[in-house]
């Protein structure tokens, strides 16, 4: 049976994974529509949007509504398209070609965290009343969780809701801070406690006592709206409670799970658009009598940007594919279908957090390298990379900071290990008797396939040692937990890249460029994995135990460490990128 996090204990070749090569004709068509919209409507308007242009941003949002892009996740019964999560990720990704993170944020907050709580947890009458209008952007929405004194510690929120004497309304008091779309929104999903029970409410803008503070003066995404929302004795009808009293945490966090893989998808589009812009610039810019793209170090940068983007692409679509599989097993006629979808998504919370962390950090890497390739022009606002870098810095902070997401990743793995939901101990024992061989007939990437099994064995070994040492207190060892989280993410990345490439070669000719990407990516990750494993073991073991630990890790290293000429392969990858543009 498939379950979140099982990539750590399963062998690489056992199951097919979803990749963009498997997009259906309908999904390809939607990708084309969104790309056209992003290139023709968003990109040319970027400068105007960035000057904080409410009318233009909302006009473009309504255009998205007309194209159906806001209603991909809204069921058909409520005038939505009711499409799969792969399509949802395609929309988030492809909008990135607009190279305008402000608009992507406006749209993402509206159609994602602002709409999905109603899709998954709303009553039928709430859905009937709000979803059709959210799908067209006749109503714009915002999601209000953060408060001045509670950001990451969201459940410590001080906002309170008290039932009125006549039992008709909840009276809300509190302050919500840093709320995307706040000054443009008609509808607010607001979390507050009712006698200590965390609860979600749907609050309409015209409610007396609801007011909006001034726009924040932000470092980036300046074309989006971010304000404080004040609640002073706001009367919210009891029928606007979202789900049940006390269900707020499940609503808030499940919504964020979805927000996380969608944010990962949005960063993927950002990476591709940033590479495209940078390549165009590098092809035109000449120094020392030649195009700067010909310099070896610049080729290395383009290769690194492309390889990491390929890897991000692989985990995004593998993850949404897993989610869609889980969703397809739910009975559509069941009354709890929509909340069941949220639960199915939660079962891949590990993968969703990995998509968010890897996506935000990959885009940061790509934007930084892109800016460097622009040289001094990169630092000048008329050129695109300065804003790409500033605008995307927020991706590492919202939808749960990357520190919190790393804790989610390692925390879920710890829980799964302690509850024996994943066969971690059995696998370690098995590895002690020698690593399993790979089971498919292809001889391409055979070294890498052995390598990934060895890398998994090394990570499991180290994970087990940390559990033996700290047990349930492991979450307090945050530096180690964070490193473990990166090890799990690296395994997911390499596993997905190799599987994607192997899978493609099973039905088509071996492509030199794909092979090069898979070989460089795995070789570089194996070095990192080996070094991090040794760092952790050296911190938690002593004397003879440490000697034994390092010796055991060295046996895995021998199978992981490859004699790959990564520099030559990177030149080849860059040349291919230049040739195919
Ligand atoms: C432009 C923008 C748009 C936003 N949009 C929205 C929105 O639409 N809706 C909404 O509800 N919120 C929104 N936010 C808020 C955002 O989600 C929070 O800023 C974020 O969750 C972090 O909370 P904080 O700022 O209070 O930082 P804090 O929680 O105070 O964190 C500060 C630092 O401490 C670290 N830290 C905190 N707790 C721990 C821990 N337990 N262990 C280790 N490290 C820890 C964090 O990782 C961070 O590095 C937005 C913020 C911005 C800037």
* Burial annotation 114-131 (CB, 10 A radius, 16+ → b, else e): bbbbbbbbbeeebbebbb
Which atom, in ligand 1's list, is nearest to the CA of 154?
21
Is 404's C-beta closer than 6 angstroms to any atom of ligand 1? Answer: yes
Q: Given a cut of 70, is residue 384 above it in pLDDT?
A: yes
Is 180's C-beta closer than 6 angstroms to any atom of ligand 1? Answer: yes
How far, in Å, CA of 245 to CA of 300, rounded? Answer: 55
pLDDT value, residue 462: 96
Q: Rg of the chain's alpha carbons, rounded to an integer? A: 24
How far, in Å, CA of 417 to CA of 271, rounded? Answer: 34
Catalytic residue among 277, 361, 399, 524: 399
pLDDT value, residue 195: 97
Provide, rounded to the nearest whole percent, the portion of the chain with pLDDT above 70: 98
Question: Which has the closest alpha carbon to 448: 398, 508, 517, 506?
Answer: 517
Measure Cα distances from 408 to 246, 322, 357, 369, 552 in Å: 22, 19, 11, 29, 28
> Where do the domains of the chain lie, and which CATH numbers do they carry?
141-247 (2.40.110.10), 415-580 (1.20.140.10)
Q: Given a cut of 90, is residue 233 above it in pLDDT?
A: yes
Tens of pLDDT, residue by residue over 88-143, are 999 999 999 999 999 999 999 999 999 999 999 999 999 999 999 999 999 999 99
CB distance 31 to 514 below 8 Å: no
pLDDT value, residue 457: 95
pTM of the model: 0.97
3-state secondary structure of 142: strand
What ranges in 95-236 are assigned the alpha helix state H? 101-108, 116-121, 124-136
Q: Which two tokens stand for residue 525?
A: 């990750």
CB distance 197 to 153 below 8 Å: no
Strands (E), 257-410: 286-287, 290-291
Nearest residue CA, atom 53 of ligand 1? 178
Tens of pLDDT, residue by residue over 493-534, are 999 999 999 999 988 888 999 999 999 999 999 999 999 999
How far, in Å, CA of 452 to CA of 506, rounded? Answer: 19
pLDDT value, residue 442: 53
How far, in Å, CA of 89 to CA of 69, rounded? Answer: 11
Question: Which has the closest alpha carbon to 236: 164, 176, 180?
Answer: 164
Those residues with Cβ within 8 angstroms of residue 432's Cβ, 6 or more apart along the chain or in another chain = none
Active site residue 36: no
Is 401's C-beta closer than 6 angstroms to any atom of ligand 1? Answer: yes
Tens of pLDDT, residue by residue over 461-491, are 999 999 999 999 999 999 999 999 999 999 9
């Amino acid at each position: 049976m498939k379950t979140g996090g099982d990539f750590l204990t399963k062998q690489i070749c056992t199951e097919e994974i979803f990749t963009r090569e498997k997009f259906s004709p309908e999904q390809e068509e939607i990708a084309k529509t969104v790309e056209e919209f992003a290139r023709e409507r968003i990109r040319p308007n970027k400068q105007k949007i960035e000057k904080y242009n409410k009318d233009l941003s909302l006009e473009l949002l309504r255009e998205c509504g007309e194209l159906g892009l806001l209603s991909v996740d809204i069921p058909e019964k409520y005038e939505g398209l009711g499409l799969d999560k792969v399509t949802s990720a395609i929309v988030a990704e492809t909008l990135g070609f607009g190279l305008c993170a402000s608009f992507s944020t406006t749209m993402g907050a509206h159609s994602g965290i602002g709409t999905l709580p109603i899709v998954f947890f709303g009553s039928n009458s709430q859905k009937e009343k709000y979803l059709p209008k959210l799908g067209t952007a006749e109503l714009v929405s915002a999601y209000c969780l953060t408060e001045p004194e509670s950001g990451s510690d969201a459940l410590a929120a001080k906002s309170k809701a008290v039932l009125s004497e006549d039992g008709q309304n909840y009276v809300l008091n509190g302050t919500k801070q840093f709320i995307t779309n706040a000054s443009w929104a008609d509808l607010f999903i607001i979390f507050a406690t009712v006698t200590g029970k965390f609860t979600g409410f749907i609050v309409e803008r015209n409610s007396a006592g609801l007011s909006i503070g001034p726009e924040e003066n932000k470092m980036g995404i300046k074309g989006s709206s971010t304000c404080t929302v004040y609640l002073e004795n706001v009367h919210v009808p009891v029928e606007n409670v979202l789900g049940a009293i006390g269900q707020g945490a499940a609503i808030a966090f499940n919504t964020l799970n979805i927000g996380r893989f969608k944010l990962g998808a949005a960063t993927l589009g950002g990476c591709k658009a940033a590479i495209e812009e940078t390549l165009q610039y590098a092809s035109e810019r000449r120094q020392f009598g030649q195009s700067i793209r010909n310099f070896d170090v610049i080729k290395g940068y383009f290769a690194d940007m492309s390889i990491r983007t390929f890897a991000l692409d692989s985990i995004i679509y593998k993850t949404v594919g897993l989610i869609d599989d889980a969703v397809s097993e739910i009975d559509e006629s069941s009354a709890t279908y929509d909340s069941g979808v949220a639960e199915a998504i939660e079962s891949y919370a590990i993968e969703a957090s990995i998509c968010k962390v890897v996506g935000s950090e990959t885009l940061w890497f790509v934007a930084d390298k892109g800016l460097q390739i622009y040289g001094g022009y990169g630092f000048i606002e008329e050129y695109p990379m300065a804003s790409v870098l500033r605008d995307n810095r927020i991706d590492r902070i919202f939808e749960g900071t990357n520190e919190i997401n790393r804790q989610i990743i390692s925390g879920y793995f710890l829980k799964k290990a302690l509850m024996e939901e994943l066969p971690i101990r059995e696998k370690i024992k098995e590895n002690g008797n020698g690593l399993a061989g790979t089971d498919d007939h292809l001889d391409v990437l055979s070294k890498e396939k052995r390598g990934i099994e060895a890398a998994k064995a090394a990570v499991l070994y180290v994970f087990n040692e940390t559990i033996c040492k700290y047990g349930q207190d492991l979450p307090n060892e945050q530096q180690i937990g964070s490193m473990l989280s990166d090890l799990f993410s690296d395994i997911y990345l390499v596993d997905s890249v190799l599987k994607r490439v192997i899978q493609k070669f099973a039905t088509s000719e071996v492509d030199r460029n794909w092979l090069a990407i898979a070989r460089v990516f795995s070789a570089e990750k194996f070095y990192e994995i080996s070094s991090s494993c040794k760092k952790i073991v050296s911190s938690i073991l002593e004397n003879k135990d440490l000697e034994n630990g390092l010796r055991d890790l060295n046996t895995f290293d021998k199978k992981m460490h490859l004699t790959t000429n990564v520099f030559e392969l990177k030149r080849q990858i860059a040349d291919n990128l230049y040739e195919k543009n």
